[in-house]
Structure 1
């Protein structure tokens, strides 16, 4: 049965030094690992979903506007995939197994058709990569758990703002959600 690798928010705004809400060096350090994991999943026939934050400029109704500076604004370069992942997407974007999914909330499942797409393709396992380990990756994992998916986390392909937050999330994935840490 095919799996789905979900690449979460690995964009300029979350990764690059000049990003609007950057995790900086920890996120930049996973660039090769996230690319290799994505390439490997694609080569073995799995589905690839790029679940990317999408915000409207000056949206006073979005709850994140009270918590974080504006980021991943529609039409800005901040939403561009970072590093070699951008090249992977450009090369494979027309493939029927590669999807771009705009998301409004932390979880890739919240307000999107991700669950429907996975079930149509008989996917029972999601493999999570991206940033931030303790926010968007964690919320995606919780929703995946609640929807009955098996969860795998590639520990070298996720990053957070601090090592402590990253470790907390990895332990939570394994001990509370029963995720397999790879």
Structure 2
């Protein structure tokens, strides 16, 4: 069984307070396509969305990045067409708040996936070398097969993006694919 984890594809991360910018905009259609494909197939789809509290001096990211994905702000909304895809498939997509880079850290994601018999995780979103990477490492450490869709991940750091793509395959045994390159998907 497979699941799609859509990581942090929000306004703040694409063109807001901590923007990936054009690389994030360029993957919008592919992110929407994959989200629809998985939801329509009846696969597990999780929107893993960063959540921060305003003026939180105790969160480690407060010293590293400007405020982003703050509770109840427009910056935390899904970016562009993904918002409409989510609204059209709300019954098939699980929204999950996360407060750390990894979608596993401090959440019930692992329990949710195991309860559904999920063994293969497909990762898309931003940032390739931060939240996608940390989620992939945690997935690897938990024994999941990992597929990263390189045409549906982006970062504000081009060198970090390229390094992470190599790390996924070389150190985590992930399958790194673009549209049309994927082996027959398992369900």
TM bucket (normalised to shorter chain) is over 0.9
Q: Distance in 2 between matches of 1:165 and 1:31?
A: 20
Equivalent position of 1:58 in the other structure: 55
Equivalent position of 1:149 in the other structure: 144
Partner of 1:176: helix, strand, or coil? helix
Structure 2: runs of 5 or more not aligned: 178-187
Equivalent position of 2:35 in the other structure: 38
The alignment yields a C-alpha RMSD, in angstroms, of 0.7
* 1:163 Cα deviation from its structure 2 partner: 2.2
Partner of 1:82: helix, strand, or coil? coil
Q: Distance in 1 between matches of 2:142 and 2:155?
A: 25
Maintained 8 Å contact 2:39/2:89: no
Q: 1:114 aligns with which of 103, 109, 112?
A: 109
1:9 equivalenced with 2:4 (yes/no) = no
Q: Distance in 2 between matches of 1:134 and 1:107?
A: 11
Task: Count matched residues.
Answer: 177
Q: How does 1:17-36 map to 2 (within 5 A)?
A: 19-36=16-33
Q: Distance in 2 between matches of 1:89 and 1:165?
A: 29
1:172 equivalenced with 2:171 (yes/no) = no
If the length of structure 1 is used for normalisation, what is the TM-score?
Answer: 0.95
Structure 1: runs of 5 or more not aligned: none
Q: 1:134 aligns with which of 124, 129, 134?
A: 129
If the length of structure 2 is used for normalisation, what is the TM-score?
Answer: 0.93
Equivalent position of 1:91 in the other structure: 88
Q: Distance in 2 between matches of 1:92 and 1:21?
A: 27
Query: Which runs of at least 4 in structure 1 moved beyond 4 Å after TM superposition?
Result: none
Q: Distance in 2 between matches of 1:160 and 1:168?
A: 11
* 1:162 Cα deviation from its structure 2 partner: 2.7
* 1:21 Cα deviation from its structure 2 partner: 0.3
* 1:63 Cα deviation from its structure 2 partner: 0.2
Q: Deviations over 1:17-65 (max 9, x none)?
A: xx01001111010000111111111222211100000000000000000
* 1:144 Cα deviation from its structure 2 partner: 0.2
